[in-house]
Amino acid sequence: MTRQPEMQIASRVVYQGRILNLRVDQVRLPNDQETFREVVEHAQAVAVVAVDEDRNIFLVRQYRYPVGKELLELPAGILEAKEEPLSGAQRELAEETGIMAGSWQYLFSIYSTPGFTDEQIHLFLARELHFTGQSLDEDEFIKVTKVPLEQVPEMIRRGEICDAKSIAGLLGAALYI
């Protein structure tokens, strides 16, 4: 039996909040020393690369309070309780951009920053798009932008797209289309 590399000895819940919880765990390392790990618990999330027939993609621009600026990102959001990733991706794309898609493909899943959080984001590719209307949460203020897929690499190089899931999803989608 393989020994767990870092064994939990104790766990203390520091905060239970709206989109995250924080706990601090005492763990035993492979060298038998003890240390502690700070873990931000976060629900699973989804993000969508929606491509139209002219190879445009749809990004959302919104103010991100933790970084103090507006960012250009893939449509994305947190899964609701017991929601399947595909359903969540369809819901978030519709809510944030008003887009419905006839074709959905799972790409891959990413850990946002596994040094301190369990947040995992499932990435999807959406095609055969048609448009209904945005329906945002009360505290969401989001502008939708259409960008030619071929401009994405230059936008990443210039720092205009600088969100990790969006870069991973956009460059990752190019492996599939």
Tell me which residues are annotated as active site.
138
Direct distance between the N- and C-terminal alpha carbons of the chain, in angstroms, rounded to an integer: 42
The distance of closest approach from Cβ of residue 142 to a copy of itself in the complex, given in angstroms and rounded to an integer, is 11
Query: What does the alpha-carbon distance between residue 67 and residue 65 come to, in Å, rounded to a whole number?
Result: 6
Nearer residue to a copy of itself within complex by CB, 69 or 102: 69
Q: Per CB under 8 A, does 171 bind a copy of itself?
A: yes
In this chain, which of 97, 119, 124, 129 binds a copy of itself, going by CB under 8 A?
119
Side-chain-facing half-sphere of 122: CA atoms under 13 Å: 19
Q: Which two tokens stand for residue 54?
A: 């002219």
User: Which residues, numbered 70-99, are part of the site for a copy of itself (CB under 8 A)?
Assistant: 70-71, 73
Positions of E strands within 52-95: 56-64, 69-73, 76-78
Collapsing DSSP states into helix, strand and coil, what is residue 75? coil
Residues at the interface with a copy of itself (CB under 8 A): 5-6, 14-15, 17-20, 22, 24-25, 27, 29-31, 33, 35-40, 42, 63-68, 70-71, 73, 108-121, 138-139, 141, 153, 156-157, 159, 162-165, 167-168, 171-172, 174-176
